[in-house]
A and B are shown apart, each in its own frame.
Chain A
Amino acid sequence: MSPQIKKSPEVHPVIVIGSGASGGMAAWNLTRQGVDVVMLDAGDRFDRAEFWTHVTPWEARERRARGERPPRFFLDVEEQPYETPPERPFELTRVWGVGGKTNVWGRVSLRYAQLDFKSADRDGWEIPWPISYDDIAPYYDRVEELIGVCGGDDDSDSLPGSRFLQPPPAPRCGERLLARAAESLGMPVVAGRRANMTRPTRGFPPCHYCGKCGDGCDSASFFNSADHLIPFALETGRLELRTNAVAARILTDDRGLASGVQYFDRHSGEEHVVHGRTVVVGASCVDSTRLLLNSRSDRHPGGLGNGSDVIGRYLCEQIRFHVRGWLPQLYGTPTRNDRGIGGAHIYMPRFNHRDPHRRDYLRGFGMQFWYTGCNPDGAATGSHTIPGFGASLKREIKRRHPAWFEVHPYGEVLPYAHNRITVDESKTDRYGVPLARIDYRIGENERKMAEHMADSAEELVKAAGGELVDYRRGELAAAGSAIHEHGTCRMGDDPKRSALDAFNRMHEVKNVRVVDGSAFATASEKNPTLTILALSWRATDHLVEELRRGDA
């Protein structure tokens, strides 16, 4: 035997933290261009064969009674707590595991328009994005071609870019009625745009319309990082995936540049360090922010790359509420199979920037319509509000079952410096790492917008002849429940007011890129994942160029 040679610790070209939309895209794009990547994910792999995609409610009961359980996607707050002020709760949803939240995401895939990228230039609220629609449009094209997004040929100034969309599924009866009512009010309705493949894509079978996307797709027919990005990256032989690796801090050298990542084994708690020349952060908005704020050093006393004190600030989610009821025009129609693509087949893009809809507040809102139609898991949600009991109740439940509708307006929340994620040195997790504390509240602009959202939703329901159930004007869904956190490590041209440059690279730490929702300068009213994928692709193309030039 040859004498054992003591190796110096390996220094990886790139460390990617997180394997969801942003991290998965980064790893896929880097490895296919010849860059070696080591990826850390805080959880395990999910086994698609164990998803309960096609389990009926009554089968689920029997299986549970036998002690079986579906995969547990969502992180238990007991395992990883976070803090909020008691009077301002924030509902944070996290998935630890390969693919992250994309395993069970809502799949709504809406391009940000120039309207969105230029909102701050127009109204002067906080900083503008450092990029415009034209900068990202080619990446939207590539992402849509890669992942398979269905939608209509119905572009507008608030929702552009339908060129690469696959055919959308037909609307359900209630959706057609809502769309018709909306049109009569000058509110636009388009085909929903969603990352469900309606045509075979890259060897994956198309959606079979079972409607159970929320339980995870057993045929991988909607885009998720675990099936559509990570395996392709692994195939290159250039990706090393470390699971159950809970990233805690980015380590820096004496020049203040990132030199590696400290992480803990999720189960054993054992501490590890992985060394790298570049770090790409995609742990999702709140956890990436926590990681950066916990990465303090003499060179970075306020957290990594946070000389500007913007990291952690400007947290913006979205305001939402739910409007539900029945459309009497559908009473007594036969029960239909409305499963479809697991979510609304229509979408109402923003219209409040047009006459006669303008009002005195900034930014805009759109509307979604999920659960409209026959509920495939039971009676229509509001059935318990139908008066009476006995045969007449049973008859009425059946009569109204096909008539159920839901309207879900989503509105943009402005970035405010006081809406802030901090870390609390006195409260730590099981690995001794300070917890995130989220302090978030909406302001006057959001209250005005919510009034307009309520007026619009009420007008829409009235025009459709709908009967409302359990609707209380003014009641907003829980803060955080849109699961669209943005803004706490934002991009911008001005290093004093932003943490990242136009390519998601830290102004103050040139070998760190942050590619998840925290990089957004504004939230918009739209679902962010498509834009996260496009930004991460663009940021890592830029990184590859740097590596080729030898700058990184």
Chain B
Amino acid sequence: MSRVPFRRRDVIRTLWMSGAAAAARPAWSDALSALAHEHARQPAPPPAADWTPSVLDAHQNETVIALTEAIIPETDTPGARAALVNRFVDQVLAEADSRERDEFLRGLKGLDERCRERAGAPFASCTAAQQTAALADISAEGPGSPADRDRAEFFQAVKAMTIAGYYSSEIGLRQELGDDGTLAFAEFPGCEHPEHGAPPKKPTT
């Protein structure tokens, strides 16, 4: 069966070269990202007017709205806020291991603490410029203290969840990416570009 959905345990580290161990991966962040990816193809809450989060409290929810919007903002198309990515994140957290969920919530709290230290306000109340600075700060890759690595893992997790949630929404897939959504063709057109190696089109008569 070849159309395999993204599976969390698809990969086993069976190595044929000694010492070629795969780079150590942050387990909880990967697990949440993978769950979000599965989720993008499957469940999440409805866009109901009376929606309430099942994991996030009101402040955490506001923070997630601000955070996901800062990652995928409104441009010439709507961003993560309009696509209700916060609801997607809440749903993923609801189905995650409690350890993964706790790590995420700790990361959210850490972000607020850092913003209070540096900008005097929690993330959701920061200006756009302050939010950008905070994200640039926590997303920096490379060697750092364990706390820096924790922040970078948190950022990676929330970013992966945002991307999975946003681009599987109608706004993300249709409006932003421009998928036409057609589910039935008489013949599949495929690539018709000579520059990609397609044969020249037959002249129509």
Q: Mark each residue of chain B from 1 to 45: 1 if its CB lies under 8 Å from any CB of chain A, else 0.
A: 111111101111111110010110000000001000100111111
A334 touches B178 (CB 8 A): yes
* Known contacts A341-B188, A384-B160, A393-B71; A65 and B2 CB within 8 A of each other: no
Jot down 24 A-B pairs with beta carbons below 8 A, ordered by A: A56-B170, A56-B181, A169-B188, A172-B190, A180-B196, A208-B185, A337-B180, A337-B182, A339-B182, A340-B188, A377-B168, A381-B37, A388-B139, A389-B159, A390-B73, A390-B135, A391-B75, A394-B75, A397-B163, A401-B177, A408-B2, A472-B20, A476-B14, A477-B12
A214 touches B14 (CB 8 A): no
Q: Mark each residue of chain A from 454 to 488: 1 if its CB lies under 8 Å from any CB of chain B, else 0.
A: 00000000000000000011111111010100000
Q: What number of A-B contacts does a CB cutoff of 8 Å give?
A: 210
Q: Which residue of B lies closest to A484 (CB)?
A: B1
In the complex, chain B residues whose CB is within 8 Å of the CB of A64: 42-44
In the complex, chain B residues whose CB is within 8 Å of the CB of A297: none
Q: Mark each residue of chain A from 111 to 131: 1 if its CB lies under 8 Å from any CB of chain B, else 0.
A: 000000000000000000000
Q: Mark each residue of chain A from 60 to 103: 1 if its CB lies under 8 Å from any CB of chain B, else 0.
A: 11101110000000000000000000000101010000000100
Interface residues of A toward B: which range?
A: 35 or more
A209 touches B16 (CB 8 A): no
In the complex, chain A residues whose CB is within 8 Å of the CB of B79: 394
Q: Is A368 an interface residue (CB 8 A)?
A: yes
The stretch of A27-35, A300-308, A342-350, A541-549 in contact with B is A342-350
Cα A141 to Cα B22 in complex, Å, equals 45
In the complex, chain B residues whose CB is within 8 Å of the CB of A45: none
Cα A381 to Cα B5 in complex, Å, equals 11
Q: Which residues of A contact B (CB under 8 A)?
A: 54, 56-58, 60-62, 64-66, 89, 91, 93, 101, 104-108, 169-173, 175-177, 179-180, 208-210, 212-214, 322, 329, 334-335, 337, 339-345, 368, 370-371, 374, 376-379, 381, 383-384, 387-391, 393-395, 397-398, 401, 408, 442, 447, 450-451, 472-479, 481, 483, 527
B44 touches A65 (CB 8 A): yes
A458–chain B nearest beta-carbon distance, Å: 14
In the complex, chain B residues whose CB is within 8 Å of the CB of A180: 196-197
Q: Is B82 an interface residue (CB 8 A)?
A: no
* Known contacts A57-B168, A176-B198, A398-B177; A383 and B42 CB within 8 A of each other: no
Q: Which residue of B lies closest to A473 (CB)?
A: B20
B11 touches A390 (CB 8 A): no
* Known contacts A179-B197, A214-B3, A393-B71; A170 and B20 CB within 8 A of each other: no
Q: Which residue of B lies closest to A219 (CB)?
A: B184
Cα A173 to Cα B198 in complex, Å, equals 8
Cα A408 to Cα B3 in complex, Å, equals 11
Cα A173 to Cα B170 in complex, Å, equals 24
B3 touches A170 (CB 8 A): no
A176 touches B168 (CB 8 A): no
In the complex, chain A residues whose CB is within 8 Å of the CB of B61: none
In the complex, chain A residues whose CB is within 8 Å of the CB of B72: 393-394
In the complex, chain B residues whose CB is within 8 Å of the CB of A57: 40-42, 168-169, 173
A214 touches B5 (CB 8 A): yes
B16 interface neighbour in A108, A322, A474, Cβ under 8 Å: A474
In the complex, chain B residues whose CB is within 8 Å of the CB of A474: 15-17, 20, 22
Q: Is B148 an interface residue (CB 8 A)?
A: no
In the complex, chain B residues whose CB is within 8 Å of the CB of A387: 141
Q: Mark each residue of chain B from 189 to 205: 1 if its CB lies under 8 Å from any CB of chain A, else 0.
A: 11111001110000000
Q: Which residue of A lies closest to B40 (CB)?
A: A378
Known: A91-B9, A371-B3, A390-B135. 13 other contacts (CB 8 A): A62-B46, A172-B191, A176-B191, A209-B185, A212-B183, A343-B3, A384-B33, A397-B163, A472-B22, A473-B20, A474-B22, A475-B22, A478-B9
Most buried by A among B22, B46, B193: B46
A60 touches B3 (CB 8 A): no
Cα A523 to Cα B71 in complex, Å, equals 47
Most buried by B among A214, A344, A479: A214
A173 touches B12 (CB 8 A): no
